[in-house]
Structure 1
Amino acid sequence: NSGEIGMGALWGGVAIAFHPVVGMWHLLASVGTFGILKLRGKIDAESSHEQSVQPKVRQGRRRLYWGIAFVLGLVGFLPAAYLLVHVSPEIAYQGTRIQVYRRLAHHLNPLVFPATAYWCYGGLLVAFVLLLRFVPRSRPWRICAVYVGWCVVFALAGIIVGCFPRWFPGTSLDRLSPRLLKFYPFRMADLLLPWFVVLGVWELLSGWLGDQRRAAAQLLLSAILVCGIGVWQVLHPFRSSSMTASEENDWLEACEWVRKETLGNALFLTTRKGWAFKWYAERAEYFSHKDAPQDAAGLIAWEERQRLLWELFAEKFSRDDLEIFREKTETDFVLIGRGTPCDLPPAHANGSFAIYDLRNLNEPVARDQ
């Protein structure tokens, strides 16, 4: 009815504003879904019973609802679009390559996805096709099926585009590939294909069980799910970092020392194994692998900082290299693992981590202006 369509448009616009990239795929899938169903006569040509219960919404009102979604989506889309157009094409391309092939390759580059991911999602895709054949085709099911189908099409297109550098190296298609992959073509299928398979299996079981057994089956499956999650949490306690319990305690102690014993404007280089340093220590980091910029110029600077760290500290933290690092970056402290070789005496250490003060090294040499 009109209220449901209005709320759908409202929340769709909010979703686009919240995450413009994923929202863009949602919008394309929604338009494609209703376009296909419209062409096949599945939207307006409902059964006489449905038409008597839910009167058809006027075309003008539907356009109004789509307009609401469009206006709300612009709130998030315009700032994101600004990041794409306010830099030179070459800078934008360099930043895109860093994002797609280095920083977020595990999300964006299908050539580095593990084989297990292809097997798992290939199985889900087969299940998806089978469910389309055997699940009773109610109107909500048709809409969901077409919507998820579009998401699968986007993901398959992303895989093809991701192979361009291997198939057409050095060509315009090679350069086009990262520019398209940066828009996360796999994100919707990642989430919705498993969801749709689970929903379809339940619909299939519900049809076999009948109305009387359905409620009992829901309670049984819910109990199994809750108990299973509880047992899993006991056997595999959730950790918000990759550290062991003792390492995490030492990390928090080191961050507490930093917060209490260093100046508020101190700059730190921290171990890649670190976790939420800015939150717990309330100090700035010279480089953070996880906290990468979103704009092209920022990504290029991020990559240059990472390259400097590789050049200087690939094997150990020697005094000479630390002096060079201090001169180039004006970093004040280094927080690394206790077992990492370093020529300086620690200013503070615990069982897992050590903090080194670079301020006592030679002052930076004045640079030519």
Structure 2
Amino acid sequence: MNLTSTPSPTDAADSSSTPSIRWLEWALVVLLFFLFVGPLTPEVNEPHYLSKARQYWNPAWCPDDHFLNSADAHGVFYWSFGWVTTMVSFPVAAWIGRFLCWGAIALAWQRMINKIDGRPWFGLLTIASGLMGIHYLHMAGEWLVGGVEAKCIAYAFAFWGIGDALSDRWNRAWIWLGVASAFHVLVGGWMVVCLMICWLVTPRLRPTLVSILPGVIVGGAISAIGVVPLLLLNLDASPAEKDWASYYYVYERLSHHLVVHTFQAEFKARFTFAILAWGVTAWLVRSHDKARILNGVVLGSVVLVVIGVVIDQMYFIVLQDWLTGAKLLRLYWYRIADVMVPLALAVNMVLWCHLNRERFPVISRGVLVGMGLLVVVGLAVRMTDRWTATASPADRSSLVSDPAAWETTCYWVRENTPPDAICLTPRLQSSFKWYAQRAEVVTTKDVPQDDLNLLEWRSRRGDVHWRSFHNEETLSLAGLTEADIRELADKYQVRYVIVDQALARKDGKVLDWTFPKIYPAGDDQTASYEVYEVTP
């Protein structure tokens, strides 16, 4: 069966709901995303992405920040959205970006899911269930809906492309996945691999290889906009530098996303359950052609997981060649499955209920009611956490000692220091540039993507945070001596030091520097943060 010969592709049950209902459903999906994420900024990754995006368009902003001056791995995202950050504040830019991403994901999801089942509210129920599944069943910390960053846009284009594959427009599908790859190489690239695996395992439904070559070629050319700059990032690095940069990136900085044997046993168990449940439901709806295509894509993501696990076990345990293993594990093998398995599980379950509502009416209604209750309970728990929080997700994730005092201190730095100042900042924070808009020597969160700058980043961490811990076993900068500070000032042109005194007091550390304390004024002994100026 050659589906490319179909003269006018049709969508499943397209006429079963009116445009007004479709738009209402889309709005409810966006509302769901808003309720899920909560009212505060910044999200965990927003200071990282949006500060890089602003400096991309305005190099004079924080001109001497090491991370901001490192290579750009997501140039298409910075180019297409970064200009917004130069016109409005970071929080406003974040909200603009969030609603753009959420709206795009909701629209692409709704379009994709309508190819499988066009009944009203099918898209809402499946994305709600899938979103809860991603949040509570993920293994490697991947997410679909959150702050604004490159992968959110990539997922929207990927869903749009899968929707075209479901409509037998495979050439368009490859093109849209090429656009997704341009925005985020790993999300788009792995989706291409997953769709290729789908093409291989659905011989009755797939078009011929020759017929899809134009889409593959055009999509590949578009993806080169993002892929080629990424491939050129490390031309100046030696093989040894590349090896060690990958090692530090994978095993020291991002093992919680990349190294499966370090994942919590609970995370691995629940995700294994999700894969098994998906496999069962995929078998139950195997007679539905559109579901077979979607599940073929998800099978591709599961294959990637298996490859990642094999690499992890082979190079870490059997061969004990950690350097080679790190280079391979750097590719985020578990990213797509973390998202697609829960989504497809939800789709399969709801679809099975619709297909069997007459044959098994009690079971079908029971499954739908159960899913609805799980969604309500899961969303209530999530909303309770997000909507009652007194600190932003970024500050909570980095364990800021006193979020309110941290923001106040950063705003003071912004108002009372030169725009080109370079600061030493606390280890347990990731939002200094967001609030203070000043350059930092190093931030744990802001790991560069090119190998040479990644090695420099690690060296800076050693000079600052690890030295402090080595001196006096504290993550506070109070562990640095005055001689250390002067050395760092000479090496990195540091002018200001922000000390987490709440952490220092907890660790029993007392500063004996002779530098003037410029914030807070007076002899307040209870301030959570203090700012010192490094003087000659």
Report TM bin, short chain: 0.7 to 0.9
| Residue in structure 1 matched with residue 126 of structure 2 by the alignment | none
Report if aligned partners of 1:317, 1:343 keep a CA contact under 8 Å in 2.
no
In the alignment, the residues of structure 1 paired with residue 385 and residue 245 of structure 2 have an alpha-carbon distance, to the nearest angstrom, of 42
1:180 maps to amino acid: L
Report if aligned partners of 1:151, 1:189 keep a CA contact under 8 Å in 2.
yes
* 2:285 corresponds to 1:122: no
* 2:516 corresponds to 1:357: no
| Residue in structure 1 matched with residue 437 of structure 2 by the alignment | 282
1:348 maps to amino acid: Y
1:1-369 matches, within 5 Å, as: 1=9, 4-38=169-203, 41-43=204-206, 62-163=212-313, 164-169=315-320, 173-210=321-358, 225=375, 229=379, 232-234=382-384, 236=386, 237-238=388-389, 239-243=392-396, 247-314=402-469, 315=472, 316-339=479-502, 340=504, 341=509, 342-344=511-513, 346-349=517-520, 351-358=527-534, 360=535, 363=536
Shift of 1:110: 1.5
CA deviation vs aligned residue, 1:218-273 (integer Å, no higher than 9, x gap):
79966984686356424553532344999222112111111111111111111122
Report if aligned partners of 1:9, 1:69 keep a CA contact under 8 Å in 2.
yes
**Are the structure 2 counterparts of residues 210 and 247 from structure 1 closer, same or farther at C-alpha, using a change threshold of 3 Å?**
farther
CA deviation vs aligned residue, 1:118-148 (integer Å, no higher than 9, x gap):
1111111221222233234211111122211
| Stretch of structure 1 that moved more, 62-71 or 211-220 | 211-220
| Residue in structure 2 matched with residue 366 of structure 1 by the alignment | none
In the alignment, the residues of structure 2 paired with residue 195 and residue 120 of structure 1 have an alpha-carbon distance, to the nearest angstrom, of 15
Query: How many corresponding residue pairs?
Result: 342
- When normalised by structure 1's length, the TM-score is 0.82
Question: Sequence identity of aligned pairs in percent?
Answer: 23
In the alignment, the residues of structure 2 paired with residue 166 and residue 254 of structure 1 have an alpha-carbon distance, to the nearest angstrom, of 47
**Are the structure 2 counterparts of residues 182 and 59 from structure 1 closer, same or farther at C-alpha, using a change threshold of 3 Å?**
closer
Task: Kindly indicate whether structure 1 or structure 2 has the higher relative contact order, using CA contacts under 8 Å at least 6 residues apart.
Answer: 2
Report if aligned partners of 1:313, 1:321 keep a CA contact under 8 Å in 2.
no
SS at match of 2:350: helix
In the alignment, the residues of structure 2 paired with residue 290 and residue 310 of structure 1 have an alpha-carbon distance, to the nearest angstrom, of 13
Report if aligned partners of 2:179, 2:223 keep a CA contact under 8 Å in 1.
yes
In the alignment, the residues of structure 2 paired with residue 19 and residue 63 of structure 1 have an alpha-carbon distance, to the nearest angstrom, of 22
- When normalised by structure 2's length, the TM-score is 0.58
In the alignment, the residues of structure 2 paired with residue 224 and residue 174 of structure 1 have an alpha-carbon distance, to the nearest angstrom, of 41
1:352 maps to amino acid: S
| Stretch of structure 1 that moved more, 208-217 or 250-259 | 208-217
SS at match of 1:335: strand
Report if aligned partners of 2:353, 2:365 keep a CA contact under 8 Å in 1.
no
SS at match of 2:404: helix
1:268 maps to amino acid: C
Structure 2: which 5+ residue stretches go unaligned? 1-8, 10-166, 473-478, 521-525
CA deviation vs aligned residue, 1:304-345 (integer Å, no higher than 9, x gap):
111112453112233233233323332111112123232235
In the alignment, the residues of structure 2 paired with residue 209 and residue 262 of structure 1 have an alpha-carbon distance, to the nearest angstrom, of 67
CA deviation vs aligned residue, 1:48-88 (integer Å, no higher than 9, x gap):
xxxxxxxxxx8765322222211111111111111244422
Structure 1: which 5+ residue stretches go unaligned? 45-57, 364-369
RMSD, matched Cα? 3.0
1:285 maps to amino acid: E
Shift of 1:180: 0.8
